Structure 1
Amino acid sequence: MDLQDRFLNSVAVKALLAAGHCKAAERTAALFTRDGEQGAYSLYDMQHMWYEVAAGRAHTARGPHAAGAALKKFTAVVQHFADIHEDQFDFHSYCVRKGTLRSYVSMLGMMDRLYGHVFYSKAAAGAIRVYLKLYDCPPGAANGTDEETLLASMTPDDRKKYKLAKKKEEKERARKAAEEKEREEREKREREKAAGQKGGKKANTASSKREPDPDPDGAKLAATADPLGEAAKLVEMLVRHAGDRLASHLLAAEVALRKGRLVVALGAVRKAAQVAEGGAAHPDVHVLVVRLALAVHSSPPEHPVVRSVVATGLTTLLGDSSPAQYAEAWRITHGTASLAHRVAAGNAMVLLGAAGGAGEQQAATTAAVAHVTAEDLSSSPHDHVQCVEVHKLLRNTWGDATAAERWRTACAAAFPHSRYFGGAKLMALDPTYDFENMREAFGKLSF
């Protein structure tokens, strides 16, 4: 591949991020940055938003240990918009003084719509989801309970395989971390040497002007004492400036439910039902309606006026039905419309079962698994990403390893080229191919 082709470079970066090779993607993008300077710094200076959003999502997919890196990318995009908003003040007096009133009015209109930009919405939504995960599962909290539940649902042979695979994964992660550190040090020496040969003392001085980032991996961002408060700030901006997008109101409801602000959550759910395609039939809206109803039932507002407002609002959503009756009617009417609808119906079953006690929860989980896995993957095209999420839901959240394996087998037949599901036609990779060193690896590719 031509290393000087910017378009192919961008395509390769997107593919690497989609595959989870974040470091390799950054080094590939750095092929078009200035010599003697780290790629991440140049990409930030150029306000390379599509890259930062894609990188943030890739880091989010890596799991809780990469929350800091994900926040680093998402908040970089948020900061870009703050910088753009701040820069407008340089033009107020200039436009008036020069008499360019048409341009001035155009700029004012752009500033009014600035925070409604799609990249701001994507970055803010990504950061909010990471903050919510940090709130639900703080980094310092023990996470052995979920793993114990998962292990308890496995057979002895599966449990042994799981532990061996986990130990192997930890060793591989440690090996890659050591190699990554060594590679970064080597590349830093090469950059400094190249900068010195190209620009001499002047180049060295220019590259040394930038102060080192005090939080390169976003550890301080992930260690915030109030992740829910940080999420609430971003949600407020999304609702105010991107109120026509469903994600804004879904996330507003998520934050409000965690804060216990039921009136705010009710307003967000009702607004989401108005914005969503299909209204209350939308899968995400349905799950939120059930969660809101259960939250009101378990912790009703103390103030009588607030209690009356919430009760009236719930009536407009549920009608005269109880949460269980509403969920069952929704399942019968909409629960088989798509895989997303099946998952929403299953999640509602599990939520209602959990509210009824341990016995009901087990029965509800069994019914939810049966409802979701009844989807015929051969009947129509399905989304691979969504099928992967369903597999993780069955295996990790609902703890049914047997159902997860049946789902994996069905998906392997539906997606024969899938590496995740182990499809029969997946492309074998050269074992000597190194994704983490794309300068050398590109020489092994042909297009």
Structure 2
Amino acid sequence: MSKPLAIPPKRALASKEATLFKDLLNHYETKQLKKGLKTADQILKKYPEHGETLCMKGLVLAHMGRREEGIDLVKKGVRFDLTSHICWHVFGLIQKGEKNYEEALKSYTQALRFDRENLNILRDAAQLQTQLRIFDGLVETRSTLLRLRPNVRQHWVGLAVAHHLNGNLTEARKILENYQRTLKNVPDYDIEHSETLLYYVHLLEEIGDLSEALSVLDANSKSRAIVDRTAIMEIRARLLTRQKSEEAEHAWRSLLEHNPDCYDYYRGYLSNIGVELDHSNPEALRVLKEFSASIPKATAPRRLALTISSGDTFKALAEPYLLTGLDKGIPSLFADIKSLYKDKEKQQAVEDIVEASLTPKDPSSSADVEPTTYLWTLYFLAQHHASLSRPDKALSLLETALSHTPTLPELHLCKARVLKRAGDYYGAARCVNDARLLDGQDRFLNTKCGKYLLRAGMSEEASTVFGLFTKKDAPSPGADLEDMQSLLYLLEEANSHRQYGKPNLALKKYMAIKKVFDEVDDDQYDFHGYNLRKFTINIYMRLLKWEDTLRSHPTYVTAAVEASKIFVAVHDDPSLVTSLSPTNLTDAEKKAKKKAKKAAQKVQDDKKASPAASEDKGLEATPQKDDDPDGLKLLASPDGLEQAAKLLHPLSTFCANNIDVWIAIYDVAVRRKKLLQALTALNHARSLDPEHPELHIRAVHLKKTASLLPQPPPAPIGPIFLETIPKIIPDDVSLETFNSQYLQRHSTCSRAILAAAKVLLNLGAPREEVEQTIFTSLRDEVTLDIPSALATLHFLESLKAPRAEDFRAACDAKFVSSTIFKTAEEQRALRQLVMKGSVDASSSPDEVVP
């Protein structure tokens, strides 16, 4: 055993001060911060260069809200005593509070050099290693903890989990088996022991020792050591199926009796008996019919039967399913069967069945259909026709339904969806507002209304609606929703700003979404210790797997791609920032900005005056004051492309089949001069859809970029880069010819026409030729939808093309139901009608919840 290190002279304290230092540590542990600060000052009067006291004083100050002053003192203390584990531990705590996990772990590693067996430091280091996924180091740390405290149960489980995460399942099994031998007098129905045994069974199953896993499960379920009955049944059925045991069928039937509406149980049962749940499988259909007869209240077998049946059999099964749902008035019936519409025959059969139900069986009587059934049938048919792009038919049915029952919110919401798809965002917002006024205390309806108002570009009105349910002391409803991590609000707000020409505010909201995901990633840190203390190991393992794929969430993907587009646009045209400067704001925008600033300042003043201002602030970094409310500094940031690259980096793994991601990666990489990375992204996109319009633009851009290089890129990148480009666009084909050939192949696709026009502009073609190409998208044979028409109009407006107004008018005439192509004056008038009628209703005492 090594000799303990001698205490350095600078660290040595007299007896009185040594006692005071112990008191200081105790005051910190018990959160007596003022006493701790006073004690530290007493020590520093006599020993002003005592590093450990300086660090502890800095830690106390950080907890008291004097963060910057505290951090400076901690750094000073570390410099005075580089061999103190206390100094390094405190420095690690400060860095951990700033979410700087890599540096915090380095500090803990330094602390352990001088105190190898400090349990607190070892526990903190283990949590950081898990957070950073350094599993080999985690095994070593957990082994040390177990060696030091073998009588602590969580140390055994922690080491097993560490081996499991590191991929050494056999060693994890040995640790758990040794742990179980140490147990004595385990009380009955002990949840912690039950969870550990379930984890052991999962581990055995993952290793492949199915017999042992089943034996452990059965033995401990009989003794009631495992108390989760549902988990026992599920694991047992799964193990027996993998063993191809005759008991497996009975196990699955027991599960179906336990929960007859779980689709996974039916799939497991059918898979066990060797029956595939695929289209037109008569054996699977027979089994499902048996279950429908034996469990008449279960809807799952009847719904699964609709998926695999066809023809007359489908009609016979669908009719009672649909009519029962309509009779019961199930609002989600259409959402339930919508996936069947992939089959055109089933789609027509559903339409025939539901429409036939409206026809009276007795022609002389009109009272065959119950009023409520009639109403929900109209609602179903409206959704049916709306999904098949028949807005006129859907609106006609909804008008009939509204004349029958005008107080049903679902009808107004359905009408709003139809109008939204038809391009009438103002009409859609008006309909949702009508639904909201029917029940002012319904948060869902208010949220829907705010969402549709944002899509109509009515941000202030949306803020007013959201404000009905947000904190009244928040700077704004949007600020409160951002604090509450409302992804729906953040994404809709960002998309609204982007759609209506405010890229600075859009970028700010997209980056707020990124911040939410960063916070969710950071939040897992607390669970590394909590789950082991509470022995909720199975859910903890699922949490870690989920966190590893966190940024595959659709909201993050959309935010990352759209934010990168804005960064790229500013890089290509820096004048975008100056055009959005405050000097160019309208009077209304200036007034709104001033009002928001005043409200934010009032909240800050209230917080400073509150008694809570003197309480323990903790080590978390305090929220910084927003010095960029308009997002202009963010928009003009010099490292915009670097930020975009960081946003997109995880998506190359999680969204490998998303062509928009690869195109965004290309756009950023090629501007960062990462030519090989850009080429790789382009090849990934080509493997997904070689004829994609956006890919066509990038292929031409890459070829042109390569031709403008002053000299070939250095090896090994240069040869690979130059050899691959001809595989995308042959050297013997000019870019003009390549673009012309693409346009000929896709002359009836509006997005392809727009892509060809953008390439023409990039190649220096006259504006008249670009406009002429654009206007071919208005021909009858071209499939032009509203999003494509809107993108084309924005492109013409960005060129300041004289014929942009002609294109807008043509689109307005083509899309009769749409209002998005109206003139600015017409849209202003429509905007004023959206909230009509809500002023009086909002003054009602029943309108909002206090």
What TM-score results when the alignment is normalised by the length of structure 2?
Answer: 0.42
1:17–1:25: 8 Å Cα contact kept in structure 2? yes
2:570–2:576: 8 Å Cα contact kept in structure 1? no
Equivalent AA in structure 1 for residue 708 of structure 2: S
Question: Does 2:631 align with 1:218?
Answer: yes
Question: Does 2:486 align with 1:48?
Answer: yes
How many residues are matched? 390
- Cα offset, 1:140, TM superposition: 8.1
Question: Does 2:472 align with 1:35?
Answer: yes
Partner Cα distance (1:240, 1:431) in 2: 43
Equivalent AA in structure 1 for residue 565 of structure 2: R
User: Which residue does 1:288 correspond to in 2?
Assistant: 698
User: Which residue does 1:412 correspond to in 2?
Assistant: 812
SS in 1 for 2:586: helix
Change (3 A) 1:217 1:370: closer
Computing the radius of gyration from Cα coordinates, the structure with the larger value is: 2
User: Which residue does 1:341 correspond to in 2?
Assistant: 752
- Cα offset, 1:290, TM superposition: 0.7
SS in 2 for 1:124: helix
Change (3 A) 1:219 1:142: closer
Deviates more, 1:32-41 or 1:282-291: 32-41
User: Which residue does 1:14 correspond to in 2?
Assistant: 451
Partner Cα distance (2:694, 2:828) in 1: 37
Equivalent AA in structure 2 for residue 400 of structure 1: A
Equivalent AA in structure 2 for residue 25 of structure 1: A
1:28–1:438: 8 Å Cα contact kept in structure 2? no
Equivalent AA in structure 1 for residue 698 of structure 2: L
Change (3 A) 1:443 1:57: same
User: Which residue does 1:166 correspond to in 2?
Assistant: none
Deviations 1:226-263 (Å, cap 9, x if unpaired)?
21222122122322333332221111111122123222
Partner Cα distance (2:659, 2:840) in 1: 41
Q: Structure 2 matches for 1:75-114, cutoff 5 A?
A: 75-114=511-550
User: Which residue does 1:316 correspond to in 2?
Assistant: 727
Question: Does 2:647 align with 1:246?
Answer: no
Partner Cα distance (1:131, 1:190) in 2: 33
Point out which structure has higher relative CO (alpha carbons under 8 A, 6+ apart). 1
Partner Cα distance (1:313, 1:431) in 2: 52
From 802, 805, 808, give the equivalent of 1:401: 802
2:749–2:784: 8 Å Cα contact kept in structure 1? no
Partner Cα distance (2:652, 2:664) in 1: 9
Change (3 A) 1:125 1:441: farther
CA RMSD across the alignment = 3.7
Deviations 1:52-85 (Å, cap 9, x if unpaired)?
011112222343xx44322221111111111111
Equivalent AA in structure 2 for residue 23 of structure 1: E
2:749–2:783: 8 Å Cα contact kept in structure 1? no
Partner Cα distance (1:296, 1:48) in 2: 44
Change (3 A) 1:184 1:442: farther
User: Which residue does 1:267 correspond to in 2?
Assistant: 680
Deviates more, 1:49-58 or 1:315-324: 315-324
- Cα offset, 1:342, TM superposition: 0.8
Partner Cα distance (1:431, 1:25) in 2: 12
Change (3 A) 1:123 1:428: closer
Question: Does 2:418 align with 1:4?
Answer: no
SS in 2 for 1:375: helix
2:577–2:636: 8 Å Cα contact kept in structure 1? no
Q: Structure 2 matches for 1:361-440, cutoff 5 A?
A: 361-362=765-766, 365-376=767-778, 378=780, 382-397=784-799, 399-402=800-803, 404-422=804-822, 429=829, 440=839
Question: Does 2:650 align with 1:237?
Answer: yes
Partner Cα distance (1:110, 1:321) in 2: 49
Partner Cα distance (1:51, 1:18) in 2: 11
2:675–2:721: 8 Å Cα contact kept in structure 1? yes
User: Which residue does 2:510 correspond to in 1?
Assistant: 74
Equivalent AA in structure 1 for residue 536 of structure 2: T
Change (3 A) 1:407 1:184: same
2:760–2:770: 8 Å Cα contact kept in structure 1? yes
User: Which residue does 2:374 correspond to in 1?
Assistant: none
Change (3 A) 1:140 1:347: closer
SS in 2 for 1:31: coil
SS in 1 for 2:777: coil
Equivalent AA in structure 2 for residue 42 of structure 1: D
2:757–2:773: 8 Å Cα contact kept in structure 1? yes
- Cα offset, 1:40, TM superposition: 2.3
Deviates more, 1:104-113 or 1:19-28: 19-28
Partner Cα distance (1:328, 1:114) in 2: 42
Deviates more, 1:116-125 or 1:28-37: 28-37
Change (3 A) 1:34 1:438: farther
Q: Structure 2 matches for 1:140-155, cutoff 5 A?
A: none
- Cα offset, 1:434, TM superposition: 8.8
From 537, 556, 565, give the equivalent of 1:129: 565
Change (3 A) 1:216 1:441: farther
Equivalent AA in structure 1 for residue 739 of structure 2: A
Gaps of 5+ in 2: 1-436, 616-621, 844-850
- Cα offset, 1:401, TM superposition: 0.8
Equivalent AA in structure 2 for residue 82 of structure 1: D
- Cα offset, 1:265, TM superposition: 1.2
Question: Does 2:694 align with 1:257?
Answer: no
- Cα offset, 1:314, TM superposition: 1.4
2:521–2:547: 8 Å Cα contact kept in structure 1? yes
Equivalent AA in structure 2 for residue 341 of structure 1: A
- Percent identity (aligned): 25
Change (3 A) 1:295 1:383: same
Deviations 1:79-125 (Å, cap 9, x if unpaired)?
11111111112112322333322212211110111011111111112
Partner Cα distance (1:220, 1:350) in 2: 30
1:14–1:54: 8 Å Cα contact kept in structure 2? yes
Deviates more, 1:314-323 or 1:10-19: 314-323
2:743–2:756: 8 Å Cα contact kept in structure 1? yes
Deviates more, 1:180-189 or 1:381-390: 180-189
Partner Cα distance (1:256, 1:220) in 2: 23
2:749–2:782: 8 Å Cα contact kept in structure 1? no
User: Which residue does 1:147 correspond to in 2?
Assistant: none
Partner Cα distance (2:548, 2:706) in 1: 37
Change (3 A) 1:410 1:441: farther
What TM-score results when the alignment is normalised by the length of structure 1?
Answer: 0.76
- Cα offset, 1:32, TM superposition: 1.1
1:27–1:438: 8 Å Cα contact kept in structure 2? no
Partner Cα distance (1:369, 1:410) in 2: 14
Equivalent AA in structure 2 for residue 386 of structure 1: S
Change (3 A) 1:304 1:183: closer
From 99, 103, 118, give the equivalent of 2:554: 118
User: Which residue does 1:59 correspond to in 2?
Assistant: 497
Gaps of 5+ in 1: 144-169, 196-200, 355-360
